[in-house]
Structure 1
Amino acid sequence: MASSKRRPILIAVGLIVLIVLIGAGFMIKQAQARYTSTIYTGSKQASSVDTSKPISILLLGVDTGADGRIDKGNSDTIMVVTINPQTKKTVITSIPRDTLAQMVGVKPTNVQKLNAAYNIGGSDMAKASVGALLNIPIDYYATLNMGGLKQIVDAVGGVTITSPLNVTFDHITITKGTHHLNGKQALTYTRMRYQDPRGDYGRQLRQQQVMKAVLAKLADSKTYTRYSQLLTSLKGNLKTDLSFNDLVSLAANDHANTKNIKSTQLIGMPAWINTSSYQIASTKTLQSTSNAIRSQLGLSAEKLSNMETRLNALNTTYNGTTNLNYNTNGLDTITYTDDTK
């Protein structure tokens, strides 16, 4: 298991993908021929996105340490981004990495922390597991390793944020107040968790704060001269099942979504399962989150009935406050076999 310093919760994947999809469309168009083979690491070549319809993208910040790999590791940043071209709205829903969830695609049935899905079964399992948790379609995914945040913030000339508290991590301190952060400082600001009284939820808010600051920099015409550095910063960091043409098309057609971006969180409750700490999303919370995302995608609400709601119904004495013991009926201890390959 990686140490806490090697398990950063990144907003980098959200930053990069939103930049590519929304904020820097004309930059990509200008540099497409030069950078297609340099920054794009997806497998599809032809466009497949219908930019007239709502889409969902699972954004994963992958725990791969400092070695630059993005093919394995826990997805310690989990965001569902929904883009609706009819309403010109983009909604970013952060999901805690420790959320109890079924690992969809393994037999026998197994539940783990949601961030394990990518490590167990790659992007297919991550998409399937998040989709089943909330009863939502996940159209595409994108992952980014920890090096991406530092590079993208530096590429836009740094970001200005107002910190609600003192943040110290990796021998760097960001004091409470307003600061202009370079890439290394921004990485520190979004990695710290244990000093924040809100824990992982506070870190998610700081992730979204930096994301919006980067998008604001992209709206500044002075940033346009940095498009070469901006695109080069993606090299070796981004992996997605969107084609490069898809990225260009989304960027060109969905630029207006940067003017209406909403950030939200799925809030769980603490629990102990055997000797591990989890977050349990109540059935009410799961249902309301599902309803909101489905509405953003132009879908009607449906009653949730999945492994998580069934386990919640069985744990009648668990309340997330005075009783933190949660029983999975042994489903979290099953030795799985990966049948997704």
Structure 2
Amino acid sequence: MGRHDYDNQQPDTDSSREASGHHQLSPGVLLARKIFFGILLVVVVIISWGLIRASHLYTQAKTTSQKIYAPVQVTKQRKTHTLLQQGQPISILLMGTDTGAYGRTYTGRTDTLIVMVLNPERKNMTLISLPRDAAVTVSDHEEEGVAKLNSAYTYGGPKAAIKTVQNYLNIPIDYYMLVNMGGLSNMVNAVGGIDIKPLLTFKYYYNFTKDKLTHMNGDMALQYCRMRHDDPLGDYGRQTRQRQVMMAVLKKAINIKAMATDEFLKSVTKQARTDLTFDDLTMLALKYRQTTTKIDSTHLQGVGKEINGVDFEVASQEEKQKITNLIRKNLNLEVRTTGYDSNISPYQPLPNNQ
């Protein structure tokens, strides 16, 4: 069975996950599958609850969505508003920046990049983590040469990151959601902390013990997500822990009382940005909630390689094609060759791959 064949699988154990290097959903994540992933979908849940339960919460959600709305000057490859109206599959690029914590105020890099595909017809959500150190050429900054994927945001904000991911995998990105590290810590505190069983034992400002249920405040959860060098799986292990923490936040935040607090809503307002309008979010709440019926999770696997004295993750064309096929299939799109043809040059985009 291939890495992307998830149907009818049972959750794997920690030992099998570490041995294979591939990360599937833990039992805790499966228990939380009725909620959406990412800060974007926290807002969706707020809106959906507001529509059903209380007009004052609806008003709060609308105000929050207006404050986090930040459009980018990227020509959409598809008619996204029509897709939402028709309940067609859509893609969202989730980005987590390394700003907003420990006094950092610079533009930062997107150390977390996840392509999320919502397919209402299949009642399925697919999450694909991309390596922060993936070797790319940043769109509109090709003259800079090979760069790490997480630096695209530094060069040109969400616009450069979106275009770079589109070119890298030859896929359309319909929307984006950006959250900073400070946002993660603040939101954990806003919901009263989270309970997590660490995936491995390590010390990183705090002591973490594998499989020991641990109550984490915002800073502890942030450190749990940040550690990378002592993880035998490196950044891939960190990606799994980040998803684990986010799902725990969402599981806690599904409680209407937690979401209705000023602290929680202020945290979302300060730490998140998206190009989804309030109307877009409302349509997501109404038409895409069943995509949580089944959640698949995987990542693009690269191989460490030094280029010009810098360490990168370089994914083979075969590996990238698998990811491209997976995303396009879940978007109900035809098969297309993945980006950056290694037979031409591993770091130059293919012609006409927009």
Q: Same fold (TM over 0.5)?
A: yes
What code does the residue aligned with 1:41 have?
Answer: I
For residue 84 of structure 1, what is the aligned residue in structure 2?
A: 119
Question: Which of these residues, 49, 63, 71, is aligned with residue 27 of structure 1?
Answer: 49
Report matched runs for 1:1-341 at 5 Å: 15-21=38-44, 23-29=45-51, 30=54, 31-38=57-64, 40-43=67-70, 48=81, 49-50=84-85, 52-66=87-101, 67=103, 72-108=107-143, 110-169=145-204, 171-176=205-210, 177-218=212-253, 223-229=255-261, 230-306=264-340, 310-312=344-346
Secondary structure at 2:229 match in 1? coil
CA distance in 2, matches of 1:308, 1:119: 25
CA distance in 1, matches of 2:343, 2:307: 16
Q: Note the C-alpha offset of 1:226.
A: 1.5
What code does the residue aligned with 1:294 have?
Answer: R
Q: Note the C-alpha offset of 1:41.
A: 2.3
Residue segments in structure 2 that go unaligned for 5+ positions in a row: 1-35, 72-79, 349-354
What code does the residue aligned with 1:208 have?
Answer: R
CA distance in 2, matches of 1:158, 1:107: 43
CA distance in 2, matches of 1:291, 1:262: 15
Q: Is the 2:94–2:115 Cα contact (8 Å) retained in structure 1?
A: yes
What code does the residue aligned with 2:225 have?
Answer: T
What code does the residue aligned with 1:271 have?
Answer: K
Q: Note the C-alpha offset of 1:14.
A: 5.6
Deviation track 1:200-225 (CA, whole Å, cap 9, x = no partner) reads 01101111222232333345xxx111
Q: Note the C-alpha offset of 1:121.
A: 1.3
Instruction: Please report the RMSD computed on the Cα atoms of aligned residues, expressed in angstroms.
Output: 2.5
What code does the residue aligned with 1:62 have?
Answer: T
Q: Is the 1:68–1:236 Cα contact (8 Å) retained in structure 2?
A: no
CA distance in 2, matches of 1:149, 1:187: 7
Secondary structure at 2:166 match in 1? helix
Q: Note the C-alpha offset of 1:65.
A: 4.7
- What TM-score do you get using the length of structure 1 for normalisation? 0.78
The range that moved more, 237-246 or 299-308, is 299-308
Deviation track 1:48-74 (CA, whole Å, cap 9, x = no partner) reads 34361111111111122534758x221
Q: Note the C-alpha offset of 1:247.
A: 1.8
Deviation track 1:3-50 (CA, whole Å, cap 9, x = no partner) reads xxxxxxxxxx963123223x4443354423235344632146xx9343
% same residue:
37
C-alpha spacing 1:32/1:111, structure 2 compared with 1 (3 Å): farther
Secondary structure at 1:189 match in 2? helix
C-alpha spacing 1:27/1:152, structure 2 compared with 1 (3 Å): farther
CA distance in 2, matches of 1:61, 1:174: 23
C-alpha spacing 1:73/1:51, structure 2 compared with 1 (3 Å): farther
CA distance in 1, matches of 2:274, 2:217: 26
Q: Note the C-alpha offset of 1:109.
A: 6.9
Secondary structure at 1:287 match in 2? helix
What code does the residue aligned with 1:15 have?
Answer: G
Residue segments in structure 1 that go unaligned for 5+ positions in a row: 1-12, 313-327, 332-341
Secondary structure at 1:234 match in 2? helix
Q: Note the C-alpha offset of 1:92.
A: 0.9
CA distance in 2, matches of 1:55, 1:254: 10
C-alpha spacing 1:226/1:218, structure 2 compared with 1 (3 Å): closer
Q: Is the 2:99–2:180 Cα contact (8 Å) retained in structure 1?
A: yes
Deviation track 1:302-330 (CA, whole Å, cap 9, x = no partner) reads 12352556334xxxxxxxxxxxxxxx6xx
What code does the residue aligned with 1:129 have?
Answer: T
Q: Is the 1:68–1:145 Cα contact (8 Å) retained in structure 2?
A: no
- What TM-score do you get using the length of structure 2 for normalisation? 0.76
CA distance in 1, matches of 2:92, 2:317: 23
CA distance in 1, matches of 2:85, 2:104: 32
